[in-house]
Chain A
Amino acid sequence: MIGYLDFVIALALAGAMAVMLTRLCLGPSLYDRILAVNSFGTKTVLFLSVFAIMVGRADGVDIALLYALINFIATIAILKFFRYRSLDVALSQMTKRIDQVEGGQ
């Protein structure tokens, strides 16, 4: 089985990852970078799924699922970092806002 279509899709996803990487490196504001990292993670999940299909191994889908979960954790940590300036705030106290959000760098 020669998966040329799978290969082209995987290559296109790699290209999309490269575009996200450019935004991550150049991104003027922090929020550009957060968005770029999050989107990059999504692209990686897609890339791994396509790769698993291309090679014909089901294991890759497990990794893709793990990525989806981890990506979520990292994004929450980053946003919590910006809003509370601490990773020590419990979920039950999340409604209270400790200090002002600082935009930009």
Chain B
Amino acid sequence: MANLDLTQYLDYALIAMLVVVGIAIIRMKNLFAIVMLTGTYSLLSAAWFVSLDAVDVAFTEAAVGAGISTVLMLGAMLLTARDCKPEGKARHIVALLVVVITGAALLYALGDMPIYGDPNSPVNAYVGMDYVAMTPNDINVPNIVTAVLASYRGFDTLGETFVVFTAGLGVALLLGLGGRKEEEN
């Protein structure tokens, strides 16, 4: 699978850019630039999700993360200052401690993860195979991911639909269709 190998390098490039954006967000003092960078972070991670074949996750990430959260962040910026103030050293140490402990726990858990593409992993062994086998009879949709999302896990998708609805509300808010009619200024 030469194509698989090649997409791997694109994954590395995207992840490297994610790391750069993350560090830039930490170093930056200007809040507006940080809002821009978080939008870019969402775009990048959604592109990465696409390259990992998680198209549905990428769809939600692009709609909510890149578009609406940028709008919400800008709305929040209207209520606060434009720059951030430096914090005391004590808080830095507490934050570092929390991050190190969480990172150590995640690394510890990483040892139990199955290898990527392992046919005996839980993802590929139990219910996933049933979906593949039963979708043609049960639902008769060519795309199995769609069948799983819209039928087998319908309630889960209903929750996601609420999220997308919120995104639509954000767009309506932004364009201000109708809007206020009073003529103050």
Contacts and interface: CB of A to CB of B under 8 A. Distances in A.
A50 B44 CA distance: 15
A90 interface: yes
B78 A93 contact: no
Interface in B48-87: 50-51, 55, 58-59, 62-63, 66-67, 70-71, 74-75, 77-78, 82
Chain A interface residue number, banded: 35 or more
Chain B interface mostly helix, strand, loop or mixed? Answer: helix
Contacts, number: 146
Interface of A is mostly: helix
B17 A21 contact: yes
Contact of B33 (A3, A17, A33, A91): A33
B74 A37 contact: no
Contacts of A3: 3, 6
A90 B17 contact: no
B2 interface: yes
Contact of B185 (A21, A63, A96): A96
Given A14-B14, A34-B36, A91-B177, 14 more contacts: A7-B6, A14-B17, A18-B20, A27-B33, A41-B66, A44-B43, A48-B50, A51-B10, A51-B51, A52-B50, A60-B50, A63-B46, A70-B66, A78-B36
26 contacts: A1-B3, A3-B3, A10-B10, A11-B13, A14-B10, A17-B17, A21-B21, A24-B37, A25-B20, A27-B33, A33-B36, A40-B40, A51-B47, A54-B3, A62-B59, A70-B63, A73-B67, A73-B71, A73-B171, A74-B39, A74-B66, A77-B174, A87-B74, A89-B176, A90-B178, A91-B175
